[in-house]
Amino acid sequence: MTERVLYDHNIIKRTLTRIAHEILEKGVNVHDLVLVGIKRRGEYLAARLQQLILDIEGVNIPLESLDITPYRDDRDRSANLIPQIQNSFQTSLTDKTVIIVDDVLYTGRTIRSAMDAIMDAGRPNAIRLAVMVDRGHRELPIRADFIGKNIPTSRKENISVYLQEVDGIDQITIC
């Protein structure tokens, strides 16, 4: 199938700026926020949000990245991988408002894994979710609090979020 560009660099930039403002408008104390970007592209989106919030509010919010692999529901459960991740956050998440950041929200399984990893590391006051694209087809009762673009898809379609830091270009495509 042909790959079609839906959104370019300018729209991605504008969308992230809007999400940064929405996060700040939510009424939480900006000093209680922690961003957790899901590897791999969520990590870079979270870093961009961190910079935007610094530009807007003058506050440098802690940024963490998370590899959810040990928490996947299709992992080999005989391998005892979970303890390795328990101390992987530099920032204490207890009593914080943790904002998980990812590029695409689909079945919701990645976010379920991320929430388990976060809960194993501490007891946040709240966990919120920011995604660049919500493509639907949830298999779990998970929704995003901050959504860049809602892109209705069929299961056969594929959404790709390309980022400068990883792919050398910013664009969102469907194929």
Ligand X SMILES: O=P(O)(O)OC[C@H]1O[C@H](OP(=O)(O)OP(=O)(O)O)[C@H](O)[C@@H]1O
Ligand Y SMILES: O=c1cc[nH]c(=O)[nH]1
Order across the sheet with 171-174: list the strands. 4-7, 171-174, 159-162
Q: Is residue 170 near ligand X by the rule CB under 6 A?
A: no
Written as six digits, the tokens of 105 are 């929200």
Give contact residues for ligand Y (rule: CB under 6 A).
72-74, 109-110, 113
Q: How far is the CB of 80 from ligand X (least distance, A)?
A: 22
The CA distance from 11 to 129, in Å, is 20
Considering only residues 102, 121, 127, 146, which one is a binding residue for ligand X as defined by CB under 6 A? Answer: 102
Nearer of residues 73 and 165 to ligand Y, judged by Cβ: 73
Which residues are within 8 A (CB) of 120 and not within 5 positions of it... i.e. 6 or more apart? Answer: 82, 85, 86
* Residue 128, Cβ density class (10 Å: 0-12 exposed, 13-18 middle, ≥19 buried): middle
Closest distance to ligand Y from the beta carbon of 100 (Å)? 13
Of residues 35-74, which lie at the interface with ligand X (CB under 6 A)? 38, 40-41
146 binds, among ligand X, ligand Y, none (CB under 5 to 8 A by kind): none
CB under 5 to 8 A by kind: which of ligand Y, ligand X, none does 108 bind?
Answer: ligand X
- Alpha carbon 149 to its chain centroid, in Å, reads 13
Residue 72, contacted partner among ligand Y, ligand X, none, CB below 5-8 A by kind:
ligand Y
- Residue 78 is given by DSSP the state T
Number of residues written out for the chain: 175
> Least CB distance from residue 25 to ligand Y, whole Å?
30
